[in-house]
Structure 1
Amino acid sequence: MIVLNGGSSSGKSSIARALQEILPGVWLTFGVDTFIDALPGRGDSPRAGITYEHDGMITFSAEYRTLERSWYAGLSAMTAAGAHMILDEVFLSGGVGQESLRSTFGNTGMLWVGVHCAADVAASREARRPDRAEGMARQQALSVHVGVSYDLEVDTTDRPAEECAWEIATQLGVQAPYPIRSSDQ
């Protein structure tokens, strides 16, 4: 399993789609947006248990958290049955979210990837997306990484998603068709 963690509009979904095209075999992509889309009103109903604050903060009800645990348990069962998975996540609680995911997935081999993007760039991307609440990208750009440890970190501020995906794929032993410029160069 590959876990991509980054703030809203950081490029995680684009990287996940690119990884599906370049990794050998079939890789399924799921994430927080997939889960939210399955909730009442695609997350916009009061019954969904999500409150979007004006400053970009998000809070969740106890019912939401119960459903979220069920969601992760289902995904864990899929990986245990042999599915290759790319998880597109936003750890709003930083390292606490990572530890929760680790405990749910148990012995599943996981590659932890931090997806970074400058707050101004992410906010600009967010402004072009009708499905995002203003302020989320700026608020999450740094906070989702607090206390999270990664095997690899990529930055989409000035790099296309495909290049970041190839950097991740090479970490998994896939030979890139061209030299990869890593994020730390």
Structure 2
Amino acid sequence: MATEAAPHPADPDHARIPDTPVGGTVVLLNGTSSSGKSSIARELLKVLDGTWFHMPVDAFHAMRGGRPAPGADLQAEIDRTVKGFHRAVAGMAAGGNNLVVDHPLSRHWRLLDLLGLLVPADTVLVAVRCPLPELERRERARGDRQPGLAALQYEHVHAHAPHDVEVDTSVLSPGDCALRIAGFVRDRPSPTAFERLRAASHQGD
């Protein structure tokens, strides 16, 4: 675990907020539940250059405590959590941190929200694909996911276009997916998918 040195009382830098001259890069893994996003993220941390954080939305949902929300209020609670997650991602990136974000864009507003929060040129949007029968098989084998969740998300997560990179976890291992994504991150062209999506969203303004 990283630790920081105790500041010297006379050190003027102790009270100076550190500069962040450059924002971080965000690799956004977009796929359904059980598509393999987390496995790819773990492999990406091994092959990407420099220091990276893995920020999965599931970790934010796991922080929730207290009494469970009634069924009628559950979606609103999930939406509030997701909005907070988006802003945490944007804040970490603005602080100069590189992030691998594991998050299904299964509701269109999630994409629109992130388009307004992230720096498009510094965001790499990855489509993590997998055929539905294989997703359903994985759900049954895992036993820790809501049955049918992947099917509910399947038609929505990739409904928008474009993505920067596409990987199919039914034919590629997590390591192979990570190498393909890392290669794109190192030499990514411009405009990025987020730049094109941001431009398209502003055409009607």
The TM-score normalised by the length of structure 2 is 0.71
3-state DSSP class of the match of 1:146?
A: coil
Contact 2:52–2:97 (8 Å) recurs in 1:
yes
Contact 2:35–2:169 (8 Å) recurs in 1:
yes
Contact 1:98–1:148 (8 Å) recurs in 2:
no
Q: Does 1:32 align with 2:57?
A: yes
TM-superposed deviation, 1:163: 0.5
Match of 1:87 in 2: 101
Match of 2:38 in 1: 13
- Distance, in Å, in 2 between the alignment partners of 1:2 and 1:129 is 26
The TM-score normalised by the length of structure 1 is 0.78
Contact 1:7–1:90 (8 Å) recurs in 2:
yes
Match of 1:105 in 2: 118
TM-superposed deviation, 1:136: 0.9
- Distance, in Å, in 2 between the alignment partners of 1:153 and 1:142 is 16
Match of 1:120 in 2: 133
Contact 1:120–1:138 (8 Å) recurs in 2:
no
Q: Which is further off, 103-112 or 115-124?
A: 103-112
- Distance, in Å, in 1 between the alignment partners of 2:49 and 2:125 is 19
Please list every run of 5 or more consecutive structure 2 residues that lacks an aligned counterpart in the other structure.
1-25, 188-205
- Distance, in Å, in 2 between the alignment partners of 1:108 and 1:36 is 28
Match of 1:131 in 2: 144
Report matched runs for 1:30-179 at 5 Å. 30-40=55-65, 46-47=68-69, 60-61=75-76, 63-94=77-108, 96-106=109-119, 109-173=122-186
Pick the structure with greater CA Rg: 2
Match of 2:7 in 1: none
Distance 1:148 1:40, change over 3 A: farther
- Distance, in Å, in 1 between the alignment partners of 2:120 and 2:163 is 17
**What is the CA RMSD across the aligned residues, in angstroms?**
2.2
Contact 1:6–1:91 (8 Å) recurs in 2:
yes
The ranges of structure 1 where at least 4 consecutive aligned residues each deviate by more than 4 angstroms after the TM superposition are none
- Distance, in Å, in 1 between the alignment partners of 2:164 and 2:120 is 16
3-state DSSP class of the match of 2:143?
A: coil
- Distance, in Å, in 1 between the alignment partners of 2:35 and 2:139 is 9
Contact 2:32–2:153 (8 Å) recurs in 1:
yes
Please list every run of 5 or more consecutive structure 1 residues that lacks an aligned counterpart in the other structure.
53-58, 175-185
Contact 1:5–1:91 (8 Å) recurs in 2:
yes
- Distance, in Å, in 2 between the alignment partners of 1:145 and 1:30 is 20
Amino acid at match of 1:98: L
